[in-house]
């Protein structure tokens, strides 16, 4: 795995984790009953993005480490996704 591939894998993992973590335990202004004029009722009651980003970073790092170790160990390779046998056989066979 190249450095670029590792960075892309981490970015994708981070954003997917962020979109999963963001709505957890969300209290909206409509739930609390204090809607600020000019905002929708579904807007968060408190600022939670920084806290959620820190949680996401920790979880995404663990998930990324697991995925990277699976890829680097060779348990899963790009040939595992060649369902139509388009790729040529590996060199040396």
pLDDT in tens, the chain (93 residues): 899 999 999 999 999 999 999 988 888 888 888 888 998 988 888 888 899 999 999 999 999 999 999 999 989 888 888 889 898 888 876
> Alpha-carbon distance 50 to 21, whole Å?
12
Report the half-sphere exposure of 67 (CA within 13 A, side-chain side): 17
- Exposed / middle / buried, residue 13 (Cβ in 10 Å: 0-12, 13-18, 19+): buried
Measured on CA atoms in the order 4, 91, 78, 71, is the torsion positive or negative?
A: negative
Whose CA is closest to 18, among 40, 45, 47, 50? 50
What is the pTM assigned to this prediction?
0.77
Cα separation, 43 vs 22, in Å, equals 12
């Amino acid at each position: 795995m190249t450095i670029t591939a590792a960075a892309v894998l981490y970015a994708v993992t981070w954003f997917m984790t962020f979109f999963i973590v963001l709505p957890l335990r969300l209290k909206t202004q409509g739930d609390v009953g204090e809607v600020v004029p000019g905002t929708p009722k579904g807007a968060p009651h408190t600022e939670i993005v920084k806290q959620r980003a820190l949680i996401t970073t920790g979880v995404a790092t663990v998930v990324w480490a697991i995925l990277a170790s699976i890829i680097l160990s060779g348990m899963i390779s790009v040939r595992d996704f060649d369902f139509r046998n388009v790729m040529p056989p590996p060199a040396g066979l």
